[in-house]
C-alpha cells in the first residue's frame, strides 16, 4: 500500500457545472481508496476559455494565482481532473518557467494582490487523476480493491486531445494506453485498438458550427459502436458533454439518436469498487449503460 496520498485539488468550472457527476464520482472513488484531495480555496478560472487566445499573459496570470494559492497550502502536487485545466495549468507553468519576461509580469501582477507567485521555486507537479491512480496508487493496489469487476463490459477508452498533447507527458501523444490499463485493472474488456482514441471530439465547434462539430462527435460514437462497445469512458468534461448531449443532432447522419452512453472513467471505476450509483452521479447521465 502506498503512503498516504494527498494532493491539492483544482476542480475548475466544469466540475462544478456541467461535469458535476465527474466531480462526485471522482471524490467518491478517491475517498474509498483513501486518497485525499484538498480543494484550493478561492480558486479562479484556469484560463482555458477565450483568455488563452486573446491575452496569453493574463491567462498565465490567472493560472499563477491558482498555483500561488496552492503553494500557500504547502502542497507540491496538484490534481486537475478537467483536461482543459490540466493542459492550461501545465502550459502556463511551462511558459512561466521558460520565459523570464512572462514570469516577471506574472510575479508583479500577483504581488499587487499580496500573493507570492513562487515562479522561481520548483514547479508544481500537475497530475490528472488517471496518473494518480496508475502511477501513485498503483494498478495492483487498485485491483485488490475491486469488488465488482466489470467483466464483459466492452469499453472504449477515449482520451481526446488535451490529455495527451502537447504539454501532457503521461503517455504517448497519439497512442496512449494508460487509461486502457486502468480499465483492464478493474476487469473491463477494453477496446484498445479503437483507432480514434485521441481524435477531436468536436471541441467548441459543437457550439459555433454545429454541423461540423457534432459530426466529429458522431464519428467517434459510430466507430465505438462498430467495435462492439457497450459504452465509452472519457476523462474530459468537454468531450463528455459534446459526445453525450448532442446525440439528438446525430440523427442527421445516423437516422436516429444513437443513445450511446458516455461515462466518466471515474464512474466506471466507482462501479467496480462497489460504490452506489447515486454517489457516482449516475443521475446526471443522459444515457446509462444497460449493464450497470
Partner 1 sequence: MSEKGNGKLPRIGVYICHCGLNIANVVDVEAVAEFAGKLPGVVVAKAYKYMCSDPGLEMIKADIKEQNLERVVVASCSPLLHEQTFRRAIQEGGILNPYLYTHVNIREHVSWVHASEPAKATEKAKALVAAAVRRVSAHKPLERKRVDVNPDVLVLGGGIAGIQASLVLADSGKKVYLVEREPSIGGHMAKFDKTFPTLDCAACILTPKMAQVGNHPNIELLTYSELKEIEGYVGNFKAKVLKKSRHLYLEKCTACGECAKVCPVEIPSAFDENLAKRKATYRPFPQAVPNKFVIERLGYPPCQAACPIHQNAYGYMMMVKEGKFAEALEVVLRDNPLPSLCGWVCTHPCTDTCTRGKVDAPLNMPGIKRFIADHAGDFALPMPKDFKENGKKVAVIGGGPAGLTAAYELRKRGYQVTIYEAAGTLGGMPAITIPDYRLPKDVLKKDTDRIAATGIEVRLNTALGKDVSLSEITKQYSAVFIAVGASKNRRLGVPGEDNSWVLPGLEFLGRVNSGERPNLGRRVVVIGGGLVAVDAARTAVRLGANVTLVCIESWEEMFARRTSEGQKEVEQMKAEGVEVLTRWGPKEFKSGGIELKSVIRVFDESGRFSPQYDETKTRFLECDTAIVAIGQAPDSDLFKSQGLSVTSWGGLDVDPVTLQTNIENVFAGGDVLGPDVVVTAMMAGKKAAESIDRFLNGRDLYEGRELEGPFEGVARPMDLERVERKPAIRMPEREPSVRIKDFADVHSTYSPEDAQKEASRCLMCSICCDCQLCKPACPVEGCIDYSIPDEEIELNVGAVVVATGFKIFDPKRIPSYGYGKYPEVYTSLEIERLVNSSGPTEGKLVMKNGQPPKSVAIVHCVGSRDKNYNEYCSRVCCMYSLKLAHLVHERTGAEVYNFYIDMRTPGKGYEEFYHKLLDEGIHFIRGRVAEITDWAIEPSEKGKLVVRVEDTMAGMVRRIPVDMVILSVGLEPQPDAQDIRRLLKLSCSSEGFFLERHPKLAPVSTVTAGIYIAGACQGPKDIPDTVAQAGAAAGEVLAMVDRGYIELEPIKAHIDAEDCSGCKMCNGLCPYDAITYDKERKVSEINEVLCEGCGTCVAACPSGAIDQDLFENQELLYEIEGVLKYV
Interface with partner 1 (CB under 8 A): 172, 174-175, 193, 195-196, 219, 223, 226
Distance separating alpha carbons of residues 87 and 222, to the nearest angstrom: 27
Taking the complex as a whole, the smallest distance from the CB of residue 21 to partner 1 amounts, in Å, to 29
Q: Which is nearer to partner 1, 189 or 223 (CB)?
A: 223
For cell 485545466, the residue is: 85
Shorter beta-carbon distance to partner 1: residue 208 or 226: 226
Question: In the bound complex, what is the minimum distance in angstroms from residue 219's beta carbon to partner 1?
Answer: 7
Decide whether 38 or 223 has the Cβ nearer to partner 1.
223
Q: DSSP 3-state assignment of 93?
A: helix
Of the candidates 191, 209, 192, which has an alpha carbon nearest to the alpha carbon of residue 200?
209
Minimum CB separation from partner 1 for residue 223, in Å?
6
Nearer to partner 1, 41 or 195 (CB): 195
Taking alpha carbons only, the member of 221, 227, 231 closest to residue 262 is: 231
CA dist., res. 16 & res. 150, Å (int):
28
If the CB atoms of residues 135 and 174 are measured against partner 1, the closer one turns out to be 174
> What is the smallest separation between the CB atom of 179 and partner 1, expressed in angstroms?
15
CB 79, CB 89: distance < 8 Å: no
CA torsion 211-212-218-219 (nearest 10°) is: 140
Contact between 96 and 102 (Cβ < 8 Å): yes
Pick 116 or 172: Cβ nearer partner 1: 172
Residue entry with cell 476559455: 49
Rounded least distance, CB 254 to partner 1, Å: 13
Q: At 31, list the grid cell.
A: 475517498
Least CB distance to partner 1 at residue 239 (A): 17
Cβ at position 175, least distance to partner 1 in Å: 4
Q: How far is CA 52 from CA 87, 176, 225, in A?
A: 11, 26, 35
Residues 64, 147: Cα–Cα separation, whole Å? 41
List CB contacts of 91: < 8 A, sequence separation 6 or more: 52, 167
**Smaller CB separation from partner 1, 192 or 284:** 192
Amino acid at each position: 500500500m502506498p503512503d498516504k496520498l494527498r494532493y491539492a485539488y483544482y476542480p475548475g468550472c466544469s466540475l462544478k457545472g456541467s461535469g458535476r457527476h465527474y466531480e462526485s464520482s471522482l471524490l467518491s472513488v478517491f475517498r474509498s481508496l483513501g486518497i485525499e484531495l484538498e480543494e484550493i480555496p478561492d480558486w479562479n478560472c484556469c484560463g482555458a476559455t477565450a483568455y488563452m487566445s486573446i491575452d496569453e499573459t493574463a491567462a498565465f496570470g490567472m493560472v499563477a494565482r491558482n498555483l500561488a494559492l496552492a503553494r500557500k497550502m504547502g502542497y507540491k502536487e496538484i490534481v486537475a481532473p478537467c483536461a482543459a485545466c490540466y493542459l492550461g495549468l501545465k502550459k502556463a507553468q511551462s511558459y512561466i518557467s521558460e520565459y523570464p519576461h512572462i514570469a516577471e509580469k506574472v510575479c508583479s501582477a500577483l504581488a499587487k494582490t499580496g500573493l507570492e507567485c513562487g515562479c522561481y521555486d520548483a514547479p508544481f507537479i500537475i497530475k490528472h487523476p488517471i496518473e494518480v491512480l496508475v502511477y501513485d496508487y498503483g494498478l495492483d493496489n487498485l485491483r485488490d480493491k475491486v469488488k465488482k469487476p466489470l467483466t464483459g463490459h466492452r469499453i472504449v477508452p477515449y482520451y481526446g486531445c488535451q490529455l495527451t498533447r502537447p504539454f501532457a507527458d503521461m503517455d504517448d501523444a497519439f497512442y496512449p494506453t494508460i487509461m486502457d490499463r486502468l480499465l483492464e485493472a478493474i476487469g473491463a474488456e477494453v477496446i484498445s485498438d479503437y483507432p480514434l482514441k485521441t481524435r477531436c471530439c468536436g471541441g467548441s465547434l459543437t457550439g459555433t458550427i454545429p454541423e461540423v462539430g457534432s459530426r466529429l462527435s458522431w464519428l467517434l460514437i459510430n466507430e465505438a459502436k462498430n467495435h462492439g462497445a457497450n459504452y465509452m469512458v472519457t476523462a474530459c468534461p468537454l468531450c463528455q458533454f459534446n459526445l453525450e448531449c448532442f446525440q439528438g443532432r446525430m440523427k442527421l447522419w445516423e437516422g436516429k439518436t444513437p443513445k450511446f452512453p458516455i461515462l466518466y472513467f471515474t464512474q466506471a471505476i466507482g462501479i467496480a469498487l462497489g460504490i452506489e450509483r447515486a454517489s457516482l452521479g449516475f443521475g446526471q447521465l443522459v444515457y446509462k449503460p444497460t449493464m450497470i
